[in-house]
């Protein structure tokens, strides 16, 4: 299959081929012409959602950007904020659409132009939603009758549609060529299982925390390292990917989880946008309003986007009071926590359960910090670096 281009448009010649002539393929192209990055997103996101659904017994979805998930979620309730933003009825929305909405709403600024992945056959309800959001493509195991007709109208037929083969068995080894060298390694054949949560070092894990931690372990298996994620109610609310410092990753992902919660504040939901302001612009303005460091030009444009001008930002006391109402988050790290500062920052964001490999020189300090903050801690013994 010829690709549109490689990683960048100047990589003009790019194609994909099976490892061996006549070998089975993990994906079939149904519509569009993918780029190199589109295929990387599709292959990683499909593995994430298929493993999550198999492990946790619920439909799963992911919203991918640049080979890492911006959000991932299991089917579950769609709250009023997300329902209003995307124009769905939370009482009747189907489980697969709910999973994708919950995944996309985790970090909706980053999910602009995403690659979507779902674990089950795409139905007309999800196709209708995809037709209304800015997205580059989707990978799924199948498509219900009429769905391809709906998706064919998106982006003048350039919207990518890929069908994944759920029965595909990947080779035992994988390789990458870099600067004249071919790097070969065994493929990790062990997706997360409930057994990884057996070694509880501090406190006890609730059933909901176990679900979130297992989802988080699956998410990080396909997220660029260093990576951590914060989760709640079957949703990855803050994912930090590709940071050289783990504590920077912890702080970045925590800020995203805070933003998700603050978008539910009545003052933010009450922002009265003019009808011509697009959905994505409303999302971006909500987030910039919460961040509070608007440039003069942004203040002018936000005022123009709202009836009655721009309100004052939330004051620190109001932010702190609202954030204090959020608790019960879980936190997963793809590598061992080297210092207790990761725990201290996680506690600031409402975390009550942590899963990490363990084995750090300072693991005793990390355990002490968890006990101090009332956070349950489990050692998985499993590093999940992904590059």
Catalytically active residues, by annotation: 65-66, 226, 387
Q: Which alpha helices (H) appear in 244-374, and where do they start and end?
A: 246-262, 266-269, 279-291, 296-305, 316-323, 341-348, 363-373
CA angle 30, 122, 231 (to 5 degrees): 120
Block residue for tokens 């299982």 = 193
The sign one gets for the Cα dihedral 262, 264, 268, 274 is positive
DSSP 164: E
* Number of residues assigned to the chain: 387
Spatial CA neighbour of 40 closest among 9, 7, 4 = 7
Residue 72 to residue 26: CA distance in whole angstroms: 21
Q: What phi and psi, each to the nearest 5 degrees, are found at residue 317?
A: -65, -40
Do residues 164 and 138 lie in contact, with contact meaning Cβ atoms separated by under 8 Å? no
Q: What are phi and psi of 174, to 5 degrees?
A: -135, 155
Instruction: Return the HEC string of 225-277.
Output: CCEEEEEECCEEEEEEECCCCHHHHHHHHHHHHHHHHHCCCHHHHCCCECCCC
> Is there a contact between 93 and 104 (Cβ–Cβ < 8 Å)?
no
Residues contacting 215, CB < 8 A, separation 6+:
52, 56, 60, 72, 73, 74, 231, 234, 236
């Amino acid at each position: 299959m010829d690709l549109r281009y490689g990683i960048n448009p100047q990589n003009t010649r790019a194609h994909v081929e099976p490892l061996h002539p006549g070998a089975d393929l993990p994906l079939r192209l149904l519509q569009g012409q993918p780029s190199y990055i589109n295929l990387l997103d599709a292959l990683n996101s499909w593995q994430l959602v298929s493993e999550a659904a198999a492990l946790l017994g619920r439909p799963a979805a992911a919203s991918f950007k640049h080979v890492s998930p911006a959000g991932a979620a299991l089917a579950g309730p769609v709250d009023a904020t997300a329902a209003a933003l995307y124009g769905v009825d939370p009482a009747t929305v189907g489980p697969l659409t709910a999973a994708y909405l919950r995944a996309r709403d985790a970090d909706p600024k980053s999910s602009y132009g995403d690659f979507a992945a779902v674990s089950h056959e795409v139905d007309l309800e999800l196709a209708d939603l995809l037709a209304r959001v800015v997205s580059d493509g989707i990978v799924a195991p199948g498509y219900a009758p009429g769905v391809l007709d709906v998706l064919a109208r998106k982006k003048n037929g350039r919207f990518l549609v890929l069908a994944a083969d759920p029965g595909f068995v990947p080779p035992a080894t994988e390789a990458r060529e870099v600067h004249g060298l071919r790097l070969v390694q065994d493929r990790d054949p062990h997706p997360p299982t409930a057994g990884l949560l057996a070694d509880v070092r501090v406190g006890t894990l609730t059933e909901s925390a176990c679900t979130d931690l297992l989802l988080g372990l699956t998410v990080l298996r396909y997220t660029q390292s260093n990576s951590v994620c914060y989760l709640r109610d079957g949703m990855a609310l803050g994912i930090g990917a590709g940071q050289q410092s783990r504590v920077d990753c912890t702080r970045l992902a925590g800020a995203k989880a805070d933003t998700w919660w603050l978008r539910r504040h009545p003052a933010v939901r009450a922002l009265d946008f003019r009808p011509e302001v697009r959905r994505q612009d409303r999302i971006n303005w909500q987030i910039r309003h919460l961040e509070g460091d608007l440039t003069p030009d942004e203040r002018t444009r936000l005022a123009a986007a709202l009836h009655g001008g721009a309100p004052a930002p939330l004051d620190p006391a109001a932010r702190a009071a609202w954030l204090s109402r959020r608790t019960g988050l879980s936190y997963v790290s793809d590598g061992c926590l080297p210092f207790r500062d990761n725990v201290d920052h996680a506690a600031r964001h409402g975390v009550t359960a942590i899963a990490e490999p363990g084995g750090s020189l300072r693991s005793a300090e990390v355990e002490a910090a968890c006990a101090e903050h009332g956070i349950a801690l489990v050692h998985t013994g499993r590093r999940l670096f992904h590059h």
